[in-house]
Chains A and B, each alone.
Chain A
Amino acid sequence: MSFFDDDDDEDDFNSLSSNNPRPGPNPISYGQSGSGSNRASSSREGSVSGSSSFLDRLRSTVSPPPGGQQQQQQQQQQQSRSRASESIYAESLSYNNHRGESSSILGSIQGDDHDIDINEDDDPEDLDLDDENLNDIKKLSKYWVKERGTVDLNPWQGDLIDQIFDKLEQQQKMVNTLRSDPQTSEEEHFKLMLVQTEMERVKYLVRSYVRTRLHKIEKFAHYITITPDMHHLLSGAELSHARRYTELLHTHFQHSVLDSLPEWLRKMDDTYGDGLSMVTKPNRNIPVLIYCRKDCGEITLEGGERAALAKGTTHLVKYRLVDRWINLGWAEVL
């Protein structure tokens, strides 16, 4: 159904989970578990290289990333990991400190340890967060939910996606280095698995975001091609895909049906008397479920009723009545 296949990851997960319950680090069994971890890492290597080429493929769909500094990217990456993996890494760091590890990548992590502590003060229950405090994954989740909840096409978050790709690559490199390092313990291999799970979840978010947008674009392909106002909402690849898709569809219709009809019946963009048009527009009357972050004032519903959009209330209203506030960010789509 989707063209991003998840099956190869499941097999590797099963093989890895069967390898993992091992005794704690112990000098006698270390040799065995070392070879075991090599076996596991080699079985994972296939999916890892597959997923990095997949990342390359995904990256080709976005604009080329801006050149960033190595240190800045690493710092951003530290802050972007979820709280669970952050605490796990803090633990593994302290563990490594005891064992006196000195690999280059771990060394640079130790310097940023205090950054991880600061982020643990974030309270995810506090819904009045300013947008700057949200990390990239939470921002992507918000935009993903908004894209799925609304009928209209939202602006393409190209910068956010680029940042997330960069961080994914960084994290992938770190995981690879740590896995092939023979001094990492079994506990750390287990933690690496968790980190990789988180990476898979982020990739799923990105895929689902792109898939939702693709569905909307194909549905409104003709309308998008006609309306230049919508072009700034799409990325370059999306726009060219919309144009080609429209052409493809129209050529198909022409060859299969319309050429056999009389000349005056061949149009594909007629509009009828009652407003029904051949070109599908986004239907802005479809209701949307919103949660008001701020006091949005009153709106007038059909039939003259007024509804007050107070802070903290949830409403199910027609999209066109509240789209202004959704775009401002005052109302959040659930």
Chain B
Amino acid sequence: MEDDYFSLNAILADNHKLSCSFTLDVEGLGYLEGGTENNIHQHSKVELPFWLAQTLSLNEFTTFPLPPPYSNRVKAALKASAQSVKLSNLVGGNGWWYRWGRRIADVLDDVPQADLLNTLLKAFVNRLPALQDLSAHHASADHTLPESSTSTGEAFRDGMEGDERELFAVGQESGKMARSWYDGSSSRKGGR
């Protein structure tokens, strides 16, 4: 999860919209609101992509509250059971909850920042055992058996966030590679 300039995941995550309110009147940029007005009035709410919102907020043209994916409701759900929260729907198309959280945390002040980062960390740590378990299991699971869609495994897999899905793919692939090496070497040596 590097903050590479050329990383496509980072670019996609940055593109997610943030709801900000302007602190002053701006002329001629009314099209940002989507309406037909020519100017933006003070305290009007506009949805801006994060890369725009960050620069504007740093220069104090806009302010924004903590966005909904990181609200208290989500925090309470995570505290209750981190593994059953669907993180994939919260931010953007593919789900970039962790990345976006880190970008937001960069713009916040100290106390909310530490709070948000702690939430992210705890959520990740609590979801990791389920992730690891599922990826190891899937590598050797019999796919002819229909899995019930209400099982926690499937539900977790649907709700997995973008970076978690990458880790899951890595785990699965390494399990498959280990198995094929094991099968391949034993068949080559005559089943020893």
When the two chains form the complex, which single residue of A14, A274, A280 contacts B188, counting CB atoms closer than 8 Å? A14
When the two chains form the complex, which single residue of B2, B5, B58, B188 contacts A278, counting CB atoms closer than 8 Å? B5
Interface residues on B, range: 10 to 19
Binary contact readout A277-316 vs B (1 if CB under 8 angstroms, 0 otherwise): 1101001000000000000000000000000000000000
Is chain A's interface secondary structure helix, strand, loop, or mixed overall? Answer: loop
Query: Would you call A276 an interface residue if the criterion is a C-beta within 8 Å of the partner chain's C-beta atoms?
Result: yes
When the two chains form the complex, which single residue of B4, B6, B58, B188 contacts A273, counting CB atoms closer than 8 Å? B58
A271 to chain B: closest residue by CB: B5
| Distance, CA A274 to CA B54, complexed state (A) | 10
Please state if A277 and B5 are interface contacts (CB–CB under 8 Å): yes
Pick 14 A–B contacts, CB within 8 A, sort by A: A14-B188, A273-B55, A273-B58, A274-B54, A274-B106, A276-B3, A276-B5, A277-B5, A278-B5, A280-B4, A280-B5, A280-B6, A283-B2, A283-B3
Binary contact readout B1-15 vs A (1 if CB under 8 angstroms, 0 otherwise): 011111000000000
B residues near A14, Cβ cutoff 8 Å: 188
| Distance, CA A277 to CA B4, complexed state (A) | 8
- Besides A273-B58, A280-B5, A280-B6, 11 other A-B contacts (C-beta < 8 A): A14-B188, A273-B55, A274-B54, A274-B106, A276-B3, A276-B5, A277-B5, A278-B5, A280-B4, A283-B2, A283-B3
B189 to chain A: closest residue by CB: A17
Binary contact readout B149-184 vs A (1 if CB under 8 angstroms, 0 otherwise): 000000000000000000000000000000000000
Please provide the 7 A-B residue pairs with the shortest distance between their CB atoms, ordered closest to farther: A278-B5, A280-B4, A276-B5, A283-B2, A276-B3, A277-B5, A274-B106
Binary contact readout B43-81 vs A (1 if CB under 8 angstroms, 0 otherwise): 000000000001100100000000000000000000000
Within 8 A of B (CB), among A5-19: 14
Q: B4 → chain A, closest Cβ, in Å?
A: 6
